[in-house]
Amino acid sequence: MKNGSCEGDVPHIDQRGKKRIRELALREGTPVFIIDHEKIRQNYREFKAHMPDVQIYYAVKANSNPEIVHTLYELGCSFDVASMPEFKVVYENIRDMPEKKRQEWIWDNIIYANTIKPIDTLKALDQYQPLVTFDNPEELKKIKTHAPHAGLVLRIRVPNTGSMVELSSKFGADPGEAVDLIASAFEMGLGVEGLSFHVGSQCTNFDNYVQALQLSSDIMNETEARTGQSIRILDIGGGFPVAYHPEVKPVEVLAEKLNKEIGRLFPPDIQILAEPGRYLVANACTLVASVIGKAFRDGKPCYYINDGVYHTYSGQVFDHNTYPVLAFEQGPTRISAVFGPTCDAFDTITLSADLPDLEIGDLVYSENIGAYSIASSTYFNGFPPAKVVHINK
């Protein structure tokens, strides 16, 4: 799989790659979700090359496949988790470490970035003392009672304009309340180690980051002036865009802007964390499905395939994204509809696929489908999620 490195270059599978995934689908059956681990490694290295001073915390929610987590762990990646099941997926990679080393690794490599945590989760986390986020006084009270040994990171609310999925309506303290919250935590005997923000998933408006960095700098400076204590961790969240469309600017443009602003606004000893999820896995995964039905409705061909929006194409609902349905077959094309296999008319993948004439049993595929897709698959109507196959492990 090729990864575009300049604006206007959307990553596509080349002919050799198409032949390989077709052969895999014929051998393994469909639907099949193919994960290319070498592509994940390449994405990780490219991110590090553009932002060498940033510690990468993979956002496990993007795709929690254990083999993906293991590949990133072997590269030295850290992890952003938002639930205890996600924590346990990461934990499996370190379970055989000596207890002391394991606790040190968790403290230095995991951030529990869900600002709202059940009490039983806080109790379970306290023994490991990871970084945990908060954004309101009630959460502080819970943390004080049930996880007083955790390192705290205050998440602030920042602009999400131009992001595919906004998050600030649900998470983040108002910047005007931030110093008061931090001071309250210190008064309660808790350790606030950092600030965090998230500009929204698939952020194409890079000014969101600039504004968020300025807000963070102001809060850190005011906190030190008021409390005498320094905050030396800044988590710049996720949102790093993938070139789903030609107009998406490449991440190196964002990296140049971030590196410049971080150098301008923060002291040299600041520790910068980032939580890329989509960026690391989106273009590393491909879905192959089979045509299981064919009809002609509303003046166009209609194809029914054995995967849909209740399964791998769920990202079209929850991630507000689209994944073009492509054919291996050649020939004249026409606008066609593609539906999933369930009995619900909501299970409509697209009404405007540009496809050649297909027959029952033909294969279709969608690329760049690795993030927020199979992670949301259900068993609706009893149809199971796609089979997962790994390559280049």
Residue pair 27/288 in contact (Cβ under 8 Å)? The answer is no
What pLDDT is attached to residue 164? 64
Tell which CATH classification among 3.40.50.10260, 3.40.50.11890, 3.20.20.10, 3.90.1720.10 matches the domain 37-281: 3.20.20.10
What pLDDT is attached to residue 159? 66
What pLDDT is attached to residue 379? 96
The chain-wide mean pLDDT, for the chain, equals 92
Q: Does 343 participate in catalysis according to the annotation?
A: yes
Domain range list for the chain = 37-281, 282-391
The strand pair at 387-391 and 110-112 is best described as unpaired
The region of weakest confidence among 136-145, 242-251, 364-373 is 242-251
Question: Which residues, other chains included, contact 245 with Cβ-Cβ below 8 Å and sequence gap of 6+?
Answer: 10
- The token duo for 104 is 């040190």
Q: Which of 6, 77, 203, 343 is catalytic?
A: 343
What pLDDT is attached to residue 249? 83
Query: Tell me: the pLDDT tens digits for 144-177?
Result: 999 999 999 999 988 676 666 656 667 889 999 9
The strand pair at 271-274 and 300-305 is best described as unpaired
Q: Fold match between 37-281 and 282-391?
A: no
By CB atoms closer than 10 A (0-12, 13-18, 19+), residue 16 is exposed
Query: Tell me: the pLDDT tens digits for 319-364?
Result: 889 999 999 999 999 999 999 999 999 999 999 999 999 999 999 9
How many residues belong to the chain? 393
Average the pLDDT over 227-253 and give the result: 88
Query: Tell me: the pLDDT tens digits for 49-95?
Result: 999 999 999 999 999 999 999 999 999 999 999 999 999 999 999 99
Query: Tell me: the pLDDT tens digits for 118-133?
Result: 999 999 999 888 999 9
Query: Could you give the CA distance from residue 315 to residue 62 in angstroms, rounded to a whole number?
Result: 10
Residue type, 16: R
By CB atoms closer than 10 A (0-12, 13-18, 19+), residue 292 is middle
Q: Is the pLDDT of residue 187 over 90?
A: yes
Superfamily of domain 282-391: Lyase, Ornithine Decarboxylase; Chain A, domain 1 (2.40.37.10)
132 vs 16, which has greater pLDDT?
A: 132
CA-closest candidate to residue 131, choices 188, 193, 219: 193
Query: Tell me: the pLDDT tens digits for 252-290?
Result: 999 999 999 999 999 999 999 999 999 999 999 999 999
